[in-house]
Amino acid sequence: MSKSILRVRVNGRPREDAVADNMLLIDYIREVVGPTGTKMGCDGGECGACTVLVDGDPRLSCISLAHSVAGRHVETIDGAAEDGRLSRLQRAFHEKLGSQCGYCTPGMIMAAEGLLRRSASPTRDEIREALGGNICRCTGYVKIIDAVETAAHGG
């Protein structure tokens, strides 16, 4: 498979990499950019574990080609903390026990981050809808919704 140059910003840093034309965005993030906070759950667009933000909008990186984000800004869970401090969502997931095994958490947090940028004060129904494509096998979802609500409203 031929490679071509991909120019993209990842977590605020400009990059220029020779990337196979058929490389998936999740593989680019994990194998070329690193580190590996972004998770592969189902490999088929069904679980949300691989969610990243592309220009602020949630995107499933397991069904997106790396070259589809050329010229854009990709944000992953590995860029969520600022100056070594957890983001408000990371803190709220920790405090409200929104994360148990943690496998779904990177995707949940990136999907929630996309929501909070669109809507600073979402209702519980809006949170549920925004996270509707993200599957969690551990928490029963209530604590995840609580965490996003806490991040949005404080407390």
Binding site for ligand FES (CB under 6 A): 40-43, 45-50, 60, 62, 99-104, 136-139
Is 5 or 102 the residue whose CB approaches ligand FES more closely? 102
Question: Residue 93 Cβ, how far from ligand FES at the closest point, in Å?
Answer: 9
Question: Residue 14 Cβ, how far from ligand FES at the closest point, in Å?
Answer: 25
Residue 124 contacts residue 97 (beta carbons within 8 Å) = no
Question: Residue 43 Cβ, how far from ligand FES at the closest point, in Å?
Answer: 5
Which residues, 6+ apart, have CB-to-CB distance to 148 below 8 Å?
Answer: 89, 92, 98, 112, 115, 116, 122, 127, 131
Compute how many other C-beta atoms are within 10 angstroms of the C-beta atom of residue 46.
Answer: 13
Q: Would you list the DSSP string of 3-22?
A: EEEEEEEETTEEEEEEEETT
Is 51 or 87 the residue whose CB approaches ligand FES more closely? 51
Which amino acid, one-letter code, is at 1? M
Is 10 or 144 the residue whose CB approaches ligand FES more closely? 144
Question: Residue 98 Cβ, how far from ligand FES at the closest point, in Å?
Answer: 8
